[in-house]
Amino acid sequence: MNPAVRCQNVIKVYDTGGQKVTALNGINLDIAAGELMMLVGPSGCGKTTLISVIAGILDQDEGSCEVFGENLLNMRSRDKLNFRAHNIGFVFQAFNLLPSLNAAENVSVPLIINGMKRVEAERKAITVLEHVGLGERWTSLPSQLSGGQQQRVAIARALVHSPRLIVCDEPTSALDHETGRNVMTLLKDVAMHKDRTLVIVTHDARIFDFADRIAEMDDGHIIKVKDSR
């Protein structure tokens, strides 16, 4: 069976003011469908660059990265946008909710991007908010919610359009220990199923036990992949 994500010899070099920095130096990684993969490692090791390449929001310089059998690098820009809009959900460290939209409106954004009518999208968003325990708070603005609640809204937003891949960048870093674990429990309970893959970039050792596998990175390489099931 084909993996959900297959990275082969992925190289990414940044040019920072004339100085070349190799962020990814020949990454090879397969992630199976239904798997929760964590990317861990010190700051600057290339985790975020790798997750950006996997999510199709950054092009690698060399190598290939196939997501659900599609080589994103070869895709036309329009097709890549459509691919992201339908197949990928995002959860960010700083939540990145739109501050002037209420919870339901924030959650409905991916559906609206995919062409759904606003009223219908918001109705569906409220249903998903109920799944993450915020059904009562759908009218609240992000500023009226706690950090944990905002992250739950962000998770609902990542799930609402039923993507096959969810990428999370440090989803618990801005949260305290208990809230962080609650968010991970929610993510695992609500988001995980056999057709959906989660890739989580984290520093937070307290949540490593939620992973199926952990890929440890350093200096643009994957130095170890540990099965923690």
Which residues make up the interface to other proteins (CB under 8 A)? Answer: 48, 51-52, 55, 57-58, 78, 81-86, 88, 90, 92-94, 96, 98-101, 105, 109-110, 112-114, 118, 169, 201
Q: Residues 104, 139: contact at Cβ < 8 Å?
A: yes
Q: Residues 73, 65: contact at Cβ < 8 Å?
A: yes
| CB-nearer residue toward other proteins: 33 or 174 | 174
Tell me the DSSP string of 102-130: -HHHHHHHHHHHTT--HHHHHHHHHHHHH
Cα 145 from Cα 26, distance rounded (Å): 42
CB of 17 to other proteins, least distance (A): 16
To 10 degrees, the CA torsion angle through 172, 177, 178, 183?
Answer: 10
To 10 degrees, the CA torsion angle through 215, 36, 14, 23?
Answer: 0
| CB-nearer residue toward other proteins: 77 or 194 | 77
CA angle 96, 87, 39 (to 5 degrees): 65
Residue with tokens 């009223």: 119
| CB-nearer residue toward other proteins: 49 or 149 | 49
| CB-nearer residue toward other proteins: 52 or 197 | 52
CB of 99 to other proteins, least distance (A): 6
CB of 128 to other proteins, least distance (A): 15
CB of 169 to other proteins, least distance (A): 5
| CB-nearer residue toward other proteins: 73 or 109 | 109
CB of 153 to other proteins, least distance (A): 13
